[in-house]
Amino acid sequence: MAIATVNPSTGKTEMVIEAHTPAQVQERIGEAAAAAKALCRTTYAQRAGWMRAAADLLDDESANLGRLITVEMGKPLAQAIAEVAKSARAMRFYADNAESFLADVPLEDPAEVGASRAWTRYEPLGVVLAVMPWNYPLWQVIRFAAPALMAGNAGLLKHASNVPQAAIFLDTLFERAGFPKGSFRTLLIGGAEVGAVIADPRVKAVTLTGSEPAGRSVAAIAGDHIKKTVLELGGSDPFIVLPSADIQQAAATAVRARINNNGQSCIAGKRFIVHAEVYDAFAAEFARRMSELRVGDPLLPGTEVGPLATESGRRELIELVEDAQAKGATILAGGTVPDGDGWFYPPTVIADLPCDARLVQEEAFGPVACLYRAHDNEHALRLANQTTFGLSSAVWTNDPQEQDYFIAHLEAGAVFVNGMTVSYQELPFGGIKRSGFGRELAAVGQREFCNLKTVWAV
């Protein structure tokens, strides 16, 4: 894939970027390795100062950065600016908390293990490679970089090929804020070049956020070289609505859960599983709200849904909807590709999906919602757990026993009750099954790329 900014609203190529040569890649890995040595000798206070300065840069440059994100991947401008603010908050969060998250933990009774002192400490691993997607071009990278750098690691970024300007911005951000040269470096390379970087002995670990095939490939190479991996892959999250829920509120939230980021979010509600008693009421309200959304130029205020980020992404979505239609599904809203430039796709609601429709198992990465009618709670749970994914989930009910039942039995990395899944810096984030392994965010996300060293001493 060419490394280029192609405006998804127009289909016009705005900028083509030269990929780094193998020699440039080597030089950048070398800079990161040198920075990692320097960083592990710095104090938390020093790193926190630089991290806060980097957050200030994001705040100062938020308007331009937001526009850049929207032009590269098409999300509505207000959402792009909110992404910048969220990233800055996470940087300050790790600046404030890294030292306590990574503090030594003494064993209460060292005599039990024959020691006079015993404790665990967290140490940085060195250079960590991040392979990142385009859907949150800033947030996905910062939620890796802020904890990793605050722990004393250095970062290398292989960003998605369609967001090179975001990648270039990130290349200099941390150095501009005061971090040692090379603490964070972007590699402008394609997916095929990633294996050699993982294999490089100077690179100690890798994290990937993206699709299942990319995750499989990266994890296989990392496994071959016995290197730590975190995988944040796809999702097809269930959003379950039961009779005791506030149906109006559930439908309004379901729309936001599905169309945020133009429907291109791993933790979007994608499968709406509704109890038969309230199915018709929910379906009518949900379809009405979805069809009333304002689709258009993401730079214009008031636009709620912009284009899909790539032409190939829209083609895949069209194929999934056509497959469902051909197999007998019913379209309750949207479903027709508009004429004109750009990769727009209307908010779409599909019901009556037969078991063999691809949408039953595959992720719809765009504003397409699948509706399922559940006969009872057990059926709702079976439908929710029937995919190979296990990222997050939502359940709407005011019955405490039903809440406990779904919290206990949903196969997912998270359950949100009477709400929609959102990533919070304070809460661990990640999936099970084919949604990946490992966690990001909170304290546990920062510890993923540390050596937990046990110390025993007499």
Q: Which x/- pattern over 92-131 shows residues binding ligand NAP (rule: CB under 6 A)?
A: ---------------------------------------x
Residue 97 or 229 having the CB closest to ligand NAP? 229
> CA–CA separation, 77 vs 20, rounded Å?
30
Instruction: Kindly indicate which of the ranges 98-106, 153-161, 287-295, 331-339 contains the residues binding ligand NAP, using the contact rule CB under 6 A.
Output: 153-161
209 binds ligand NAP (CB under 6 A): yes
391 binds ligand NAP (CB under 6 A): yes
Pairing relation of β-strands 203-209 and 127-131?
parallel
Pairing relation of β-strands 348-351 and 368-374?
parallel
218 binds ligand NAP (CB under 6 A): yes
| Least Å from the CB of residue 320 to ligand NAP | 13
> CA–CA separation, 32 vs 71, rounded Å?
30
Q: What is the footprint of ligand NAP within residues 428-447 (CB under 6 A)?
A: 431, 436
> CA–CA separation, 431 vs 125, rounded Å?
23
In sequence order, the 6+-apart residues with CB closer than 8 A to the CB of 213 are: none
Instruction: Kindly indicate which of the ranges 37-45, 232-240, 344-352, 377-385 contains the residues binding ligand NAP, using the contact rule CB under 6 A.
Output: 232-240
Reported as type and span, the H/E element at residue 394 is strand 394-396
User: By C-alpha distance, which of 427, 447, 448, 426 is closest to 437?
Assistant: 448
Q: Binder to ligand NAP among 68, 73, 240, 266 (CB under 6 A)?
A: 266
| Least Å from the CB of residue 179 to ligand NAP | 23
160 binds ligand NAP (CB under 6 A): yes
Q: Binder to ligand NAP among 62, 186, 217, 425 (CB under 6 A)?
A: 217
Do residues 135 and 265 lie in contact, with contact meaning Cβ atoms separated by under 8 Å?
Answer: yes
Burial of 266-302, coded b for 16+ CB within 10 Å and e otherwise, reads bbbbbbbbbbeebbebbbebbbebbeebebbbbbeee
Q: Which x/- pattern over 184-203 shows residues binding ligand NAP (rule: CB under 6 A)?
A: ------xx--x---------
User: By C-alpha distance, which of 352, 450, 440 is closest to 132?
Assistant: 440
| Least Å from the CB of residue 209 to ligand NAP | 5
Residue 110 or 191 having the CB closest to ligand NAP? 191
Tokens of 10: 């127009």
Instruction: Kindly indicate which of the ranges 226-234, 284-292, 323-331, 342-350 contains the residues binding ligand NAP, using the contact rule CB under 6 A.
Output: 226-234
Q: Binder to ligand NAP among 94, 134, 344, 372 (CB under 6 A)?
A: 134
Instruction: Kindly indicate which of the ranges 51-59, 156-164, 271-279, 318-326 contains the residues binding ligand NAP, using the contact rule CB under 6 A.
Output: 156-164
68 binds ligand NAP (CB under 6 A): no
> CA–CA separation, 194 vs 161, rounded Å?
12
238 binds ligand NAP (CB under 6 A): no
Residue 140 or 377 having the CB closest to ligand NAP? 140
Q: Which x/- pattern over 355-374 shows residues binding ligand NAP (rule: CB under 6 A)?
A: --------x-x---------
Pairing relation of β-strands 348-351 and 184-186?
unpaired
Do residues 199 and 221 lie in contact, with contact meaning Cβ atoms separated by under 8 Å?
Answer: yes
> CA–CA separation, 204 vs 222, rounded Å?
9
Say how many C-beta atoms besides its own lie within 10 A of residue 77's C-beta.
20
Do residues 127 and 28 lie in contact, with contact meaning Cβ atoms separated by under 8 Å?
Answer: no
In sequence order, the 6+-apart residues with CB closer than 8 A to the CB of 254 are: 239, 241, 269, 272, 282, 286, 369, 420
| Least Å from the CB of residue 435 to ligand NAP | 6
418 binds ligand NAP (CB under 6 A): no
Residue 166 or 242 having the CB closest to ligand NAP? 166
158 binds ligand NAP (CB under 6 A): yes
Q: How many residues bind ligand NAP (CB under 6 A)?
A: 29
Residue 37 Cα distances to 97, 126, 183, 358, 448, angstroms: 22, 7, 10, 49, 19
Active site members = 232, 266
Q: Which residues bind ligand NAP (CB under 6 A)?
A: 1, 131-135, 158-161, 190-191, 194, 209-211, 214, 217-218, 232-235, 266, 363, 365, 391, 431, 436
